[in-house]
Chain A
Amino acid sequence: KAGVTQTPRYLIKTRGQQVTLSCSPISGHRSVSWYQQTPGQGLQFLFEYFSETQRNKGNFPGRFSGRQFSNSRSEMNVSTLELGDSALYLCASLEGPLNNEQFFGPGTRLTVL
């Protein structure tokens, strides 16, 4: 099976813009989680989608949103970008229940200028 894919791999935006990141999970996986990784805060959970429904949400402002499509592909959107949103955004797919390993994509490196 192909692994988790994320597009784009690199992105440069300016403050105030918005951005959409995409994640395609492993075929057959119905759960997708998103994480933000920064040197200061480490890996932080953004949200998790399962069968097109947001199942869990982290402590991020409403500027961060996501959705999942019927084919399990997921997108996350960040509006009104701030310098502090510069980070590596990772998505992970999960085959079944939460109590199992997650498979991570290579990440999208977002730089906000």
Chain B
Amino acid sequence: SQQGEEDPQALSIQEGENATMNCSYKTSINNLQWYRQNSGRGLVHLILIRSNEREKHSGRLRVTLDTSKKSSSLLITASRAADTASYFCATQGAQKLVFGQGTRLTINP
């Protein structure tokens, strides 16, 4: 079974708006990572947040991690059409990286 559960499964917003995606997980982790995938292609790494970090920024991306609630969120600000993609959270435990089912984000012009 998947470690990460993402919410919502699909999100459609207007260009320029902010998009927020959430990820919950079940067991302890070393880090949590967010990836983007365009139309069945390879995954692109967006950001990694370690278990002892609470917030991280990268350009228009902001990730938070709450280990007490076992949850993370990805915020994309000022969305663009090019942000249309599927976004996956992945939790890194002692060994392998386990992915959630993903959020399908659509940015409407």
Contact residues of A with B, CB < 8 Å?
Answer: 4, 33, 35, 37, 42-45, 48, 55-56, 58, 88, 90, 92, 98-107, 109
Contact of B48 among A101, A103, A104 (CB under 8 A): A101
Contact residues of B: prevailing secondary structure? strand
Decide if B41 touches A56 in the complex (CB within 8 Å). no
The contact size tier of chain B is 20 to 34
Closest CB of chain B to A52's CB: distance in Å?
A: 18
Q: Encode contact with A along B35-56: 1 for CB under 8 Å, 0 otherwise.
A: 1000011111100101000000
Cα A42 to Cα B100 with chains together (Å)? 8
Find the B residue at minimum CB distance from A101: B45
Find the A residue at minimum CB distance from B102: A42
Further contacts, 15 of them, CB under 8 A, given A99-B92, A102-B97: A42-B100, A42-B102, A56-B95, A58-B96, A88-B40, A90-B42, A99-B50, A101-B45, A102-B45, A103-B45, A104-B42, A104-B43, A104-B45, A105-B42, A106-B42
